[in-house]
Amino acid sequence: MSNWDRFVETFFNAKVMAKYLPDIAYGMVVTVELAALVIVTGLAAGLALALLRSLGFRPVNLLLVFIVDLFRALPPLVIIVFISFGLPALELSPSGFVSTWLSLALVLMAFSEEIFWAGITSIAKGQWEAARSTGLSYGQTLIHVVLPQALRLTIPPLTNRTIAITKGTALGTVVALHEILGMASSAVSNSYNPSPLMMGAAAYLVLFLPVVVAARWVETKFAWKR
């Protein structure tokens, strides 16, 4: 057997791939469900915190800054382990899926809040004053004048951060989550062959490469025209 044949037999074993393809496909479904939940809840919570912060209540803002900085500083893996193995001490036993979802959503919430907040504060003060002079309330000015401009500015950093965090679904393997990497790792252990890992890598490309391309299109579509 040549070196090339040995390489193919080790990393692209057709028999092993065919056997564990259903497992990888199941892991893809779990990964898609988890990533979708993380994106929706993380971005919604981040926007809500940014809007709350814009109200200018100092005690509330200090608490928000502490929470945001805390989840920005902690590694997602630490949060996953804490939720999965720490909460049972409080008689709460979240599943691996819930633990991973909450952890990544909290991290995305923290980063997206800072991005949304930066977008809101980047809008010139004259925009606020002009809108208020027409009789709009503070809330109406924020929602109808400031926020649409701020959201457009936040698209590039927000899409990049969202993609980076959702790829963290692979961290669910530490709490026995049956996502792509978890299923691939289990298949490697059972088959004594790393070919399932190559399938897992291909699955990540299939899922996330279109997302990256779509994000680039959205950034171009909503970019400010120079």
pLDDT, tens digit (0-9, with 9 covering 90-100), for 205-221: 998 888 888 888 877 77
Task: Give dist(CA 137, CA 117) in Å, integer.
Answer: 20
Place of tokens 């996502």: 179
pLDDT in tens, 155-201: 888 888 888 888 888 888 888 888 898 899 889 988 888 999 999 99
pTM: 0.87
Q: CA 186 → CA 27, 32, 45, 85, 194, distances in Å? A: 11, 19, 34, 21, 10
Q: Is the dihedral of CA 16, 19, 23, 25 positive or negative?
A: positive
Does domain 18-221 match CATH 1.10.3720.10?
A: yes
